[in-house]
Amino acid sequence: MACTTDDDAAARDGADGEAPRLSHLDASGAARMVDVSAKPATERVAVAAGVVRMAPETLALVVAGNLKKGDVLGAARIAGIMAAKRTSDLIPLCHPLMLQSVDVAIEPDAALPGLRVTATAKLIGTTGVEMEALTAVSVACLTIYDMAKAVDRGMIVTDIRLVSKSGGRSGDWRADGA
């Protein structure tokens, strides 16, 4: 993760016999940006997901493109990509990253009813991209809410989570049930 990297992973995970600790705190408990300069550049990929639940009528309007604000899905995809690129401006202590790819996919799900949002962030670098994927999903979901709130203020943005990450010293990780 750009905000909680695998720097000093043994201490963070408690593998050195000590209790796990946060990588963004120094020995005195002060916040610090993790030094990743000595880490090798590797491919990093993170996938995050979220859901916007809404009334069936709202979902139909969004899918049909019949809202006054325009193309909700297109705007949300672009907003998510833009947000991923600005993560370090939004989250303190995140490293500014040169992302090589960000993809935001939005799929209607009548069973919710609502929209499932997935973001994938990739780079070759010294720190992960989990926060970028999570930021992309969050802002895409908020954009959907913003564009459709005139017809449905009861929408619920929910289930935002990291689905998987690969690369780096800590290796691959996948959420239970993902």
User: Which pLDDT score is estimated for 8?
Assistant: 42
pTM of the model: 0.85
3-state SS assignment for residue 53: strand
The catalytic residue positions are 146
Q: How far apart are CA 125 and CA 41, in angstroms?
A: 4
Q: How far apart are CA 105 and CA 52, in angstroms?
A: 13
Closest CA to 51 of 103, 4, 119: 119
Structural domains in the chain, CATH included, are 39-174 (3.30.70.640)
Q: In the sheet where 156-166 sits, what is the strand order?
A: 101-109, 114-125, 42-53, 156-166, 173-174
Q: Which residues of 89-126 are buried (b: 16+ CB within 10 A; e: fewer)?
A: eeeeebbebebeebbbebeeeeebbbbebbbbbbbebb
Annotated binding site for substrate: 93-95, 131-132
User: Which pLDDT score is estimated for 104?
Assistant: 98
pLDDT tens-digit profile, the chain (178 residues) = 444 434 444 344 445 556 666 777 777 777 778 888 888 899 999 999 999 999 999 999 999 998 999 999 999 999 999 999 999 999 988 999 999 999 999 999 999 999 999 999 999 999 999 999 999 999 999 999 999 999 999 999 999 999 999 999 889 999 998 8
User: Which pLDDT score is estimated for 30?
Assistant: 79
Q: How far apart are CA 90 and CA 73, in angstroms?
A: 23
User: Which pLDDT score is estimated for 11?
Assistant: 42
